[in-house]
Amino acid sequence: MNIALDVMGGDHSPHEIVAGAVEAARAYKVMISLVGKPDVIRRELAKHATSGLKLPIVPAHQVIEMDDKPTTAVRTKPDSSIVVACDLVKRGEAQAFVTAGNTGGALAAGILNIGRMRGILRPALVSPFPTQRGFCVVLDIGANADVRPEYLPQFAIMGTIYARTVMGIPNPTVRILSNGEEDGKGSQLVIEAVELLRRTPGINFQGNVESKEIIEGVVDVVVTDGFTGNIFVKTAEATARLLQKVMLQELTRGPIST
């Protein structure tokens, strides 16, 4: 197996990306194609013991920055690490593409250069979401701000496969994010999607779910539109950050620590 890795993307690139690639190549005995500026990659590789590891360098001289507009960037930066890495997958020279860079850019390059699986109407962004009991999978968290009801059974199938193969859950439960747990609660989109989800074979659909229950860990796969999913994930993250900050302020200003 060959994995195309964008060395230029992410907050801690290139050093952490290359360090991770070296570790992964050793641990999993896979080939990892390092895509990016060759001199940068060579300098990073020199810091590691890489003999016997399959870490070919694939040159890409442009970089899609975090504030680049995704679709425009993919079109105007054909020699960027994200686009070049996607092309490796498209040509069958790599089986997967990994980046810690511009999410929209990765999504746009994936759609425009690799394309979707036959029959799949829309891609979805997936996030493992921490709960009281471990993790669940939430999708879509941002690829599609507007969806049609028929996308959601596909998200449910993709999420089920992800939970089964990546997280090792044999028969993952699926629920749809709504403003109430009861049947019949929800927007028109949710109500229509629930009807379709009930009739979808191969998934273990259990009805509506509220934020509270997701966080308690009652479900393995949560399906939603990309707008709601994005706000759900960002709100949980922002609330957690604020509480950590407040806690730290309180704990460090008291008489114990001064």
Contacting positions for a copy of itself (CB under 8 A)? 132, 142, 145-146, 177, 179, 186-188, 190, 210-212, 214-216, 225-228, 230-232, 234-244, 247
95 or 249, CB closer to a copy of itself? Answer: 249
Smallest distance from a copy of itself to CB 62, Å: 23
Smallest distance from a copy of itself to CB 159, Å: 18
9 or 226, CB closer to a copy of itself? Answer: 226
Q: Please tell me the distance from the alpha carbon of residue 86 to that of residue 98, in angstroms, as a whole number.
A: 9
Which residues have a Cβ under 8 Å from the Cβ of 35 and sit 6 or more positions away? 4, 5, 6, 7, 8, 58, 60, 81, 84, 85, 88
Render 16-30 in DSSP notation, one character per residue.
HHHHHHHHHHHHH--
- The gap from C-alpha 108 to its chain's centroid, in whole angstroms, comes to 14
Give me the phi and psi of 123, to 5 degrees please.
Answer: -80, 165
25 or 73, CB closer to a copy of itself? Answer: 73
35 or 126, CB closer to a copy of itself? Answer: 126
Smallest distance from a copy of itself to CB 197, Å: 17
23 or 237, CB closer to a copy of itself? Answer: 237
Q: In the chain, what are the helix, strand and coil shares in percent, each to the nearest 5? A: 45, 15, 40
Smallest distance from a copy of itself to CB 25, Å: 36
Nearest by Cα to 163 from 131, 128, 198: 128
Smallest distance from a copy of itself to CB 232, Å: 5
